[in-house]
A and B are shown apart, each in its own frame.
Chain A
Amino acid sequence: MSYGTATSACRAVFVRDFGLVWRRRGDALNPVLFAIMVVALFPFALGPEPKALQQISAGAVLVALLLAGLLSLDALFRSDLEDGSLEQLVLSPHPLALLLACKIAVHWLTTALPLLLVAPLLGEMLYLPRPVLGTLMAALALSTPLLSLIGAVCVALTVGMRRSGMLLALLVLPLYVPVLIFAAGACNAAQQGLPTLAPLLWLGAALALALVLAPLACAAALRISLN
């Protein structure tokens, strides 16, 4: 019996996951709406003065996107677990880490990429200084895949649980802190007119590391929780 190549298996995962998202394309907008609403809360809480909002704009956008990503993480394996296809992935003869990397990639493309596209609008809502926008986008482009990869490992650990929302946040947020520190560090440096390359390079290095290690860790975690 032949199983096909690993490439065709990856293509099948891509086609299936994109198909599933496309059929429920209304849901895909939810993280974006969530992020817009969170950002809209800041002017209500802090008052509408542009100067005060400008001070916190980059950080507020980063935190709003991080939280939106956190809320969408839960859906990464949820439906696959319910219809049993997650077990099939684990049982398949192809490397599980590779298939999971495809799933994480689709998840990033369908939830984080729309957030990335809407980030300039979010910045504008909080009077983000124009020169900082480039740095913010670069920091987001490097940090959102990193957040998805780290988050996927923690989701894999909690996949069997019924109400895992709060627990997932407890597991994921400490690991998100360093990413947030470097991303915010780059934006703060840009706001003060300082060089921003060092924190961005740190993020890039962490992303390179996570791209290799996180799918392997995710596969190991999934095997523990599916047992």
Chain B
Amino acid sequence: MNPLLLWFHKLGSPPYFYRLAGRLLPWLWALALAGLALGLYGGLFVAPRDYQQGDAFRIIFVHVPCAWMSLFVYFFMAANGFIALVWRIKLSETLAMAAAPIGAAFTFICLATGSIWGKPMWGTWWTWDARLTSELVLLFLYLGVIGLYHAIEDRRQAARAAAFLALIGIVNLPIVHFSVNWWNTLHQGSTVKLFGPSLIDARMLWPLLTMAVATKFLFAASLLSRARVDLLELESGKDWVRQIALAEEPRA
């Protein structure tokens, strides 16, 4: 068998994934914390004041990466849900369900920071603008997935039902992303562009991109930590879990 394919099959086995994640976790946490520290330092101290908004604009170094993550995590959850439904890979069910609370947290932080910024800048905590409304619907979708997962007794069936709901909700992702172009409401368009030059000063751009990378690592670290615990719970009767439990016992 192709070595890459073999590795992929091995990755799907819970004991192998558990050990691999355990080895990766310290690195991921370290990279995430270092990246967050660097990005926040760059954003809060190094980047110049905005000519119009003063220091208030600095909240974008939290707000924008969280908004990107809210979409990225949903896509990750739905993609894993698709894999779980089509190929019945147990690990994908666990990953999809472990990602849901993290994504909900990013979405909540994005909405909260936006509203804190909106009070001095727009003069209101909340407005029924297309971007804000679709992001709020995204939060509700996350909560629906989490609620459905916890309402069904059988863990694997619950994960499959919730993964299916996540797949239906994916129609909301393009609405959130393109809402600033489709509807001309209060929220501004994007200033950071993947293709072509960005409309933001380079001294403000690098902390933003650092934060974007750091939140990816934060997500990966948090996801693997949650997935490890979920796997232990899911497989609690299996031999490999019993061995881990026995190894932990003398220390406790």
List residues of A whose CB falls within 8 A of some B CB: 153-154, 157-158, 160-161, 164, 167, 170-171, 173-175, 177-178, 181, 217, 220-221, 224-225, 227
Task: Chain B residues near A173: list those with CB within 8 A.
Answer: 140
Nearest chain-B residue to A166 (Cβ)? B147
- The reply to whether B151 and A224 contact each other, CB–CB distance below 8 Å, is no
**B43 → chain A, closest Cβ, in Å?**
32
User: When chains A and B are docked, how far (Å) is the Cα of A104 from the Cα of B169?
Assistant: 21
How many residue pairs, one in A and one in B, have C-beta atoms under 8 Å apart?
A: 51
Instruction: Answer whether A174 and B152 are a contact pair too, CB < 8 Å, given A167-B147, A221-B164.
Output: no
A159 CA to B175 CA in the complex, in Å? 29
Interface pair B168/A225, CB less than 8 Å apart: no
Whether the pair A227, B140 counts as a contact (CB closer than 8 A) is no
Contact B157 A171, beta carbon cutoff 8 Å: no
How many angstroms between the C-alpha atoms of A167 and B165 in the bound complex?
12
Which residues of chain A have C-beta atoms less than 8 A from B152's C-beta? 160-161, 225
Do the beta carbons of A170 and B160 come within 8 Å of each other? no
Residues in chain B near residue A158, CB distance under 8 A? 148, 151
Q: Which residues of A contact B208 (CB under 8 A)?
A: none
Q: How far is the CB of B183 from chain A (nearest CB, A)?
A: 10
CA distance A218 to B164 in the complex (A): 10
> Smallest distance from the beta carbon of A47 to chain B beta carbons, Å?
24
- Tell me whether A161 and B151 are in contact (CB under 8 A): yes
Give every chain A residue within 8 A of B175 (Cβ-Cβ): 178
Cα distance A178–B175 when bound, in Å? Answer: 10
- Besides A158-B151, A170-B144, 20 more A-B contacts (Cβ < 8 Å) are A154-B165, A158-B148, A160-B152, A167-B147, A167-B151, A170-B140, A170-B147, A171-B144, A171-B165, A174-B140, A174-B141, A177-B133, A177-B137, A217-B164, A220-B164, A224-B85, A225-B157, A225-B161, A227-B154, A227-B157
A–B pairs, 30, beta carbons within 8 Å:
A154-B165, A157-B148, A157-B161, A157-B164, A157-B165, A158-B148, A161-B152, A167-B147, A167-B148, A167-B151, A170-B140, A170-B144, A170-B147, A171-B144, A174-B140, A174-B141, A174-B172, A175-B168, A175-B169, A177-B133, A177-B137, A217-B168, A221-B161, A221-B164, A224-B85, A224-B157, A224-B160, A225-B152, A225-B157, A227-B154
Complex CA–CA separation, A153 to B143 (angstroms):
17
Interface string of B164-181 (1 = CB under 8 A from A): 110011001001000000
Within B114-173, the residues touching A (CB, 8 Å) are 133, 137, 140-141, 143-144, 147-148, 151-152, 154, 157, 160-161, 164-165, 168-169, 172
Residue from A158, A174, A175, A177 whose CB has the most chain B CB atoms within 10 Å: A174
Q: If A164-B151, A227-B157 touch, does A174 touch B164 (CB 8 Å cutoff)?
A: no
With a cutoff of 8 Å between Cβ atoms, the chain B residues found around residue A221 in the complex are 161, 164
* Chain A residues with CB under 8 A of B172: 174
Q: Inside 8 A of A167's CB, which chain B residues have their CB?
A: 147-148, 151
Nearest CB of chain B from residue A141's CB, rounded to whole Å: 23
Residue in chain A with minimal CB distance to B145: A171
Determine the distance from Cα of A149 to Cα of B161 in the docked complex, in whole angstroms. 18
In whole angstroms, how far apart are the Cα atoms of A181 and B136 in the complex?
14
Which residues of A sit under 8 angstroms from B157, Cβ to Cβ?
Answer: 224-225, 227
Considering the chains assembled together, what is the distance between the CA atoms of A153 and B148 in angstroms?
A: 13
Task: Please give, as numbers and ranges, the residues of chain A lying within 8 Å of B144 by CB-CB distance.
Answer: 170-171, 174
Q: Which residues of A contact B165 (CB under 8 A)?
A: 154, 157, 171
Q: Smallest CB–CB gap between A10 and chain B, Å?
A: 25
**Distance, CA A174 to CA B152, complexed state (A):** 20
| Residue of B140, B141, B154, B164 contacting most chain A CB atoms (<10 Å) | B164
Q: Which of B133, B141, B161, B169 contacts A224 (CB 8 A)?
A: B161
